[in-house]
Amino acid sequence: MTLTSMSASLASSHGRPRVGFLGVGWIGRHRLEAMAATGAIDVAAIADPSSAMVEEALAVAPGAQVGQSLDDLLAMDLDGVVIATPSALHAEQSIAALEQGLAVFCQKPLGRTHQEVAAVIEAARAADRLLGVDLSYRQTAGMEKIRSLVQGGELGSIFAVDLVFHNAYGPDKDWFYDKARSGGGCVMDLGVHLVDLALWTLGFPAVSQVDGRLFRQGERIASDADEVEDFALATIELGNGAVVRLACSWRLQAGCDAVIGASFHGTGGGAEFRNVNGSFYDFVAERFRGTAREPLAAPPDEWGGRAASAWAERLAQSAAFDPACETLEPVASVLDAIYGR
């Protein structure tokens, strides 16, 4: 049986696809809950070195097998794996799972460099296996509405985009501050969402030039420095002449928990997506016509698990390779350019 025919027969071979979850901290457990709620997959296995995290996950999926590592999961009869581990492990673990014939849903970033991302995509293509990444802001109601306006030409020609993501707290795990393990600082952690939102909304246009400025504790640092940045600015020039500007940070003194936004300016109007009252979860979106504005989306909007849920539902239909994952490469290329790689 070929891999393609195996993909088509997942549902008939043993019911719903059996999925293992590697890393069940807060994000991993939340994605587990979202996928389980779809009814599209079976939460068949959980692996995490923390017994406390495993116990919390088992409360959601009491029948799941338990392991401690990816190797443990690969030894089980699984159809897919969800990876929520430190960034340095994402590419290697994704490739290992794909080469074993498992579909993969991975936390961002898929890799620390374009080279790593491209290698994972090639492994998915070679294995004919589904690959997804948790770029969850795409699934917010506001950004979906704005993308529809842009793609439909209702804002005219987009010539400028401004994006921000300032997190007043920053990560609480040591590996985020080790460049060898994280791949970078706030750009790798937060900027990846901004670059992805810009390119995804605009239809992944060609990028002609990227300029980045990195800071740590208020001081400029070289793009190839061993330190990770806690503040960054970048300008991305597109092949059609449009300009994308982004800013992101950890621990910026901005008077609230978070500042998150994306503004799109076109010859026929504009649109803006922004968080509400410093929230990490609540967003509004508006369309601008001259000095007038009209609402596009507002809370409540349970968007956090939508990317995970969509992957689970797609897996239940077919585990075959989805070329949509190839758009992860241009995002990774821009991040490399910001870091001067």
Query: What is the total count of domains within the chain?
Result: 2
> 233 and 187 in one domain?
yes
> 290 and 159 in one domain?
yes
**Is pLDDT at 5 greater than 80 in this prediction?**
no
**Is pLDDT at 1 greater than 50 in this prediction?**
no
Domain of 90: which CATH number? 3.40.50.720
> 277 and 232 in one domain?
yes
> 186 and 120 in one domain?
no
**Is pLDDT at 99 greater than 50 in this prediction?**
yes
103-159 pLDDT per residue, tens: 999 999 999 999 999 999 999 999 999 999 999 999 999 999 999 999 999 999 999
> 127 and 148 in one domain?
no
Cα–Cα dist 18/186, whole Å? 34
Q: Is residue 329 part of a domain?
A: no
Q: Is residue 318 part of a domain?
A: yes
In the predicted model, what is the mean pLDDT of residues 39-59? Answer: 97
In the predicted model, what is the mean pLDDT of residues 6-19? Answer: 62
Q: Is residue 69 part of a domain?
A: yes
Domain of 298: which CATH number? 3.30.360.10
Q: Which residues contact 265 (CB under 8 A, 6 or more apart)?
A: 158, 159, 160, 161, 162
Cα–Cα distances in Å, from 95 out to 116, 168, 174? Answer: 10, 34, 25
Query: What band does 14 get if pLDDT is binned at 50, 70 and 90?
Result: low
Cα–Cα dist 221/215, whole Å? 5
Query: What band does 9 get if pLDDT is binned at 50, 70 and 90?
Result: very low
Domain coverage including residue 66? 3-134+305-323
Report pLDDT for 10: 46
> 52 and 191 in one domain?
no
Report pLDDT for 121: 98
Report pLDDT for 49: 94
Q: Is residue 56 part of a domain?
A: yes
> 231 and 276 in one domain?
yes
> 264 and 150 in one domain?
yes
> 292 and 195 in one domain?
yes
Q: Mean pLDDT over all residues of the chain?
A: 95
> 148 and 114 in one domain?
no
Of the listed ranges 13-17, 67-71, 94-98, 293-297, the least confidently predicted one is 13-17
Q: Where are the beta strands (DSSP E) in 121-277?
A: 131-133, 158-167, 207-216, 219-221, 231-238, 243-250, 258-266, 269-275
Q: Is residue 332 part of a domain?
A: no
Q: Is residue 65 part of a domain?
A: yes
Query: What band does 223 get if pLDDT is binned at 50, 70 and 90?
Result: confident
**Is pLDDT at 310 greater than 90 in this prediction?**
yes
pTM surpassing 0.85? Answer: yes
Query: What band does 225 get if pLDDT is binned at 50, 70 and 90?
Result: confident
Q: Is residue 119 part of a domain?
A: yes
Cα–Cα dist 29/84, whole Å? 9
**Is pLDDT at 6 greater than 80 in this prediction?**
no
Report pLDDT for 117: 98
> 234 and 127 in one domain?
no
Cα–Cα dist 315/42, whole Å? 11
Decide: 1 and 25 in contact? Cβ < 8 Å. Answer: no
> 219 and 119 in one domain?
no
Q: Is residue 341 part of a domain?
A: no
Report pLDDT for 216: 97
